[in-house]
């Protein structure tokens, strides 16, 4: 029995109820794929609330896309699905995960430090009956003009005169901004001790006092020339990892011993001290939730993350079955990737929060099965090569695998870099990862030069690879279709969701062809809505304009761009804007050419919608 007699579901509920009782509106989790195109994934609960801190959205009147109505309160609470690729190399230790659930309360001008700290203190010590080991506060930093957070220190002391307080630096206790700009501020963190005697951060309370018009890297570098601005209304953003909180509440040694992981860990042998099982369990959850939010395995963006997770789990499971067969390893269980993901779906799908997982069960299992098939086509060959490389590295006493060999395993055999790292660790060899990076860059440059050569000799007036026109007449039509294609992408994201990303496009004088990630056929109703959105933008005769700027700056404009594409140092960002209201319909990295006013396009019509490859749809459209 648990010390506090609450399982993880009850803890989730208790958190929501406690804050609801204290004047917070319960808001459901947003998708793992954020609306903000400058960030790839949702890594914190605060992301869906970003506009409320800057005053861009009013919690009393703005209709929140995920909630369907205004919050009707300046205070909200959520349990947010999060995914952090930044922690992927740590997975397998006692406290890190890629996918996790974040409990958080937020206030946009409703309350500030005093109330936020009091509520957190009350929840941890009274509702959960846990002991706080220590808390941290920001020690201040002159170069950004933020003093030590004495206020938080005083508040803690008033609540508990014996509480231990540690002062920490900007890297640890100053949050944000996320993406290319946003709210940010000092934090105070709560640490508790687990059954291993480790102090673990379980709750981070952020006081959003500032707005920074650049990225976190720029803020930390201090060389961007940009300054922190005071937010008109300071706000609160807190986040507590559910898995860690449950670990503390149940007095466990690590997060994998909690009831959240029990169905998975029981199905796997504890090979290599459970490390292999921990990675497989973490990734199985990540795979299910990402595919559940519409991501399909691919070589780009979110799709590439899922592909790598799947292609790391499969070899781990193979390793486990081999150990069972060869070494007579006594297994608590023995699972395939299908068994594991089904367990995740069954467990989370039966909770109140994620019933959609049960509805999507067949689809999720099918997508993973197909990806497994693709991987199996190359796996044996790749695995033989990897084994040979490891043996050679040992024979020749270098104990090092060269960058070019890693590169070939990743590109030709579709191996996940993370699995190559795991295998190296298990067999005691090193990887030349900087050599691997160099190979990667060299390859990108060669393929770009090849592209230019290929399109040089066509005898076409315009041939960018994406746009093709033989003469002036065709160039005009292609230019109109090109702007229509930008509107089409914006329309698809609007109607189908931000998981839509461009996979490719090809525009001739006859038609535009646009490929994008999406897992199913569009309904006639959706196709009509997409057409309507494009034609409405044309009818409003919006202005099309571009700005040329350094790549780094362009990333911060919220423009859509290919995550993995290599861009030159200066890029053009094209926007389609309503000159009267300033509303932006579309913004993309692009070389042009485009029309200057959308009315020049004419009328846009979708002629065909079909599958292009796994998880990728293809639309053809023309203008009349
Ligand atoms: N945004 C902060 C974090 O992720 C608090 O929610 O830690």
Residues near 420 by beta carbon (within 8 Å), at least 6 away in sequence:
386, 401, 406, 409, 410, 431
142-156, 431-445, 573-587 — most confident range? 142-156
CATH of 472-623, one of 3.60.21.10, 3.40.980.10, 3.10.450.50, 3.30.980.10: 3.30.980.10
Given a contact cutoff of 8 angstroms between Cβ atoms, the answer to whether 516 and 616 are in contact is yes
Q: 8-253 has which CATH code?
A: 3.30.930.10
Give the model's confidence band at 454: pLDDT under 50 very low, under 70 low, under 90 confident, else very high: very low
Mean pLDDT, range 248-262, rounded to an integer: 97
**Closest to 342 in 3D by CA, of 311, 364, 317, 314:** 364
pLDDT at residue number 552: 76
CA distance 612 to 505: 12
pLDDT at residue number 450: 59
pLDDT at residue number 37: 73
Q: Flag whether pLDDT at 115 surpasses 90.
A: yes
Ligand 1 near 156 CB (within 6 A): no
Task: Measure the CA angle with vertex 324, ends 318 and 330; round to 5°.
Answer: 135
Q: Flag whether pLDDT at 349 surpasses 50.
A: yes
Mean pLDDT, range 15-39, rounded to an integer: 93
Residue 206 burial class via C-beta count within 10 angstroms: exposed 0-12, middle 13-18, buried 19 and up: buried
Mean pLDDT, range 496-515, rounded to an integer: 90
Q: Flag whether pLDDT at 605 surpasses 50.
A: yes
Angle between helices 403-411 and 417-427 (to 10 degrees): 130
- Pairing label, strands 570-577, 462-463: unpaired
Average pLDDT of the residues of the chain: 91
- The contacts found for 308-312 with CB under 8 angstroms, 24 or more apart, are 308/416, 308/417, 308/418, 309/98, 309/283, 309/416, 310/283, 310/337, 310/368, 310/371, 310/372, 310/375, 311/371, 311/375, 311/414, 311/415, 311/416, 311/419, 312/279, 312/283, 312/416, 312/418, 312/419, 312/422
Give the model's confidence band at 94: pLDDT under 50 very low, under 70 low, under 90 confident, else very high: very high
Q: Flag whether pLDDT at 620 surpasses 70.
A: yes
Residue 100's H or E segment, with its range, is strand 99-108
- CA 157 to ligand 1 centroid distance, Å: 23
Given a contact cutoff of 8 angstroms between Cβ atoms, the answer to whether 160 and 535 are in contact is no
- The contacts found for 403-408 with CB under 8 angstroms, 24 or more apart, are 403/432, 403/433, 403/434, 403/435, 403/436, 403/437, 403/438, 403/439, 404/435, 404/439, 406/431, 406/432, 406/433, 406/435, 406/436, 406/439, 407/436, 407/439, 407/440, 407/443
**Closest to 501 in 3D by CA, of 304, 300, 288:** 300
Query: Do the two domains 8-253 and 472-623 of this chain adopt the same fold?
Result: no
Give the model's confidence band at 455: pLDDT under 50 very low, under 70 low, under 90 confident, else very high: very low
- CA 588 to ligand 1 centroid distance, Å: 29
Give the model's confidence band at 565: pLDDT under 50 very low, under 70 low, under 90 confident, else very high: low
Between 165 and 475, where is the model more confident?
Answer: 165
Peptide bond into 593 cis (omega under 30): yes
pLDDT at residue number 459: 52
- CA 82 to ligand 1 centroid distance, Å: 11
CA distance 186 to 176: 9
pLDDT at residue number 451: 54
Tally of CB atoms within 10 A around 416? 22
CA distance 44 to 102: 7
pLDDT at residue number 456: 43
Q: Reduced to 3 states, what is the DSSP secondary structure of residue 336?
A: coil
Between 29 and 556, where is the model more confident?
Answer: 29
- CA 245 to ligand 1 centroid distance, Å: 15
**Closest to 588 in 3D by CA, of 623, 544, 530:** 544
Q: Flag whether pLDDT at 417 surpasses 70.
A: yes
* pLDDT tens, residue by residue, 282-327: 999 999 999 999 999 998 889 999 999 999 999 999 998 887 777 6
Q: Is 68 left (phi over 0), alpha (psi -120 to 50) or beta?
A: left
Task: Measure the CA angle with vertex 569, ends 567 and 570; round to 5°.
Answer: 95
Radius of gyration, alpha carbons of the chain: 26
**Protein residue with least CA distance to atom 4, ligand 1:** 44
Residue 471: CA atoms inside 13 Å, Cβ hemisphere, count?
Answer: 1
Lowest mean pLDDT among 152-161, 484-493, 557-566: 557-566
CA distance 403 to 396: 17
pLDDT at residue number 458: 44
pLDDT > 70: percent of the chain: 95
**Protein residue with least CA distance to atom 3, ligand 1:** 239
Mean pLDDT, range 529-555, rounded to an integer: 89
pLDDT at residue number 447: 67
* pLDDT tens, residue by residue, 180-210: 888 999 999 999 999 999 999 999 999 999 9
Give the model's confidence band at 446: pLDDT under 50 very low, under 70 low, under 90 confident, else very high: confident
Dihedral sign from CA coordinates of 454, 456, 459, 464: positive
Entry pTM: 0.76
* pLDDT tens, residue by residue, 232-245: 889 999 999 999 99
Ligand 1 near 44 CB (within 6 A): yes
Ligand 1 near 174 CB (within 6 A): no
Taking the CA of residue 44 as reference, the ligand 1 atom at the shortest distance is 4
**DSSP assignment letter at 332:** S
- The backbone torsions φ and ψ at residue 206, rounded to the nearest 5 degrees and listed phi first, read -105, 135
**DSSP assignment letter at 123:** I
Taking the CA of residue 43 as reference, the ligand 1 atom at the shortest distance is 4
Q: Domain residues of the chain, as ranges? A: 8-253, 262-435, 472-623
- CA 177 to ligand 1 centroid distance, Å: 11
Taking the CA of residue 206 as reference, the ligand 1 atom at the shortest distance is 5
Ligand 1 near 104 CB (within 6 A): yes
* pLDDT tens, residue by residue, 371-381: 999 999 999 99
Given a contact cutoff of 8 angstroms between Cβ atoms, the answer to whether 98 and 84 are in contact is yes
Lowest mean pLDDT among 101-110, 316-325, 406-415: 316-325
Q: Maximum distance among all alpha carbons in the chain?
A: 80
């Amino acid at each position: 029995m648990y010390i506090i007699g609450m399982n993880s579901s009850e803890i989730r509920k208790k958190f929501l109820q406690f804050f609801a009782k204290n004047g917070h509106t319960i808001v459901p989790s947003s998708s793992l794929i954020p609306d903000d195109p400058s960030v790839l994934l949702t890594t914190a609960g605060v992301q869906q609330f970003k506009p409320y801190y800057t005053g861009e959205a009013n919690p009393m009147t703005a209709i929140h896309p995920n909630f369907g109505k205004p919050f009707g309160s300046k205070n909200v609470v959520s349990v947010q699905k999060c995914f952090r690729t930044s922690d992927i190399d740590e997975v397998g230790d006692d406290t890190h995960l890629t996918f996790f659930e974040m409990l958080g309360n937020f206030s946009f001008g409703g309350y500030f430090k005093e109330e936020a700290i009091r509520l957190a203190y009350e929840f941890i010590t009274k509702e959960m009956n846990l002991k706080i080991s220590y808390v941290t506060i920001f020690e201040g930093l002159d170069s950004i003009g933020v003093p030590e957070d004495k206020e938080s220190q005083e508040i803690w002391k008033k609540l508990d005169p014996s509480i231990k307080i540690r002062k920490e630096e900007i890297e640890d206790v100053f949050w944000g901004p996320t993406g290319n700009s946003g709210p940010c501020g000092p934090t105070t963190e709560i640490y508790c001790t687990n059954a291993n005697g480790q102090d673990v951060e379980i709750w981070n309370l952020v006081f959003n006092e500032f707005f920074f018009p650049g990225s976190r890297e720029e803020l930390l570098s201090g060389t961007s020339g940009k300054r922190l601005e005071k937010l008109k209304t300071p706000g609160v953003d807190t986040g507590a990892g559910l898995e860690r909180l449950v670990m503390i509440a149940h007095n466990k040694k690590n997060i994998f011993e909690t009831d959240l992981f029990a169905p998975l860990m029981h199905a796997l042998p504890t090979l290599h001290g459970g490390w292999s099982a921990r990675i497989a369990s973490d990734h199985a959850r990540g795979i299910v939730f990402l595919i559940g939010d519409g991501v399909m395995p691919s070589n780009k963006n979110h799709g590439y993350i899922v592909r790598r997770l799947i292609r790391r789990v499969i070899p781990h499971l193979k390793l486990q079955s081999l150990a069972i067969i060869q070494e007579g390893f006594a297994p608590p269980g023995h699972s395939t990737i299908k068994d594991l993901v089904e367990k995740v779906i069954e467990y989370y799908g039966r909770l109140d929060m994620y019933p959609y997982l049960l509805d999507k069960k067949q689809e999720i299992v099918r997508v993973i099965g197909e990806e497994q098939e693709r991987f199996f086509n190359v796996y044996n060959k790749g695995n033989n090569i990897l084994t040979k490389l490891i043996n050679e590295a040992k024979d020749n006493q270098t104990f090092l695998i060269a960058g070019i060999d890693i590169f070939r395993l990743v590109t030709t055999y579709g191996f996940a870099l993370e699995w190559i790292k795991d295998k190296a660790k298990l067999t005691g060899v090193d990887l030349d990862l900087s050599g691997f990076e160099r190979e990667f860059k060299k390859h990108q440059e060669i393929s770009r030069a090849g592209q230019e050569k290929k399109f040089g000799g066509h005898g076409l007036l315009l041939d960018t690879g994406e746009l093709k026109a033989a003469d002036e007449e065709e160039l005009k039509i292609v230019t109109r279709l090109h702007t229509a294609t930008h509107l089409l992408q914006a329309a698809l994201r609007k109607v189908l969701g931000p998981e839509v990303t461009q996979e490719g496009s090809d525009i001739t004088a006859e038609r535009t062809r646009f490929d994008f990630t999406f897992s199913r056929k569009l309904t006639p109703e959706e196709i009509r809505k997409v057409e309507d959105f494009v034609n409405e933008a044309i009818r409003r005769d919006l202005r099309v304009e571009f700005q040329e700027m350094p790549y780094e700056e362009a990333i911060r404009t919220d423009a859509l761009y290919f995550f993995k594409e290599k861009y030159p140092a200066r890029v053009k960002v094209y926007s389609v804007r309503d000159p009267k209201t300033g509303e932006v319909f579309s913004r993309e990295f692009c070389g042009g050419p485009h029309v200057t006013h959308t009315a020049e396009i004419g009328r846009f019509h979708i002629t065909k919608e079909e599958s292009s490859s796994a998880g990728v749809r293809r639309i053809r459209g023309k203008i009349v």
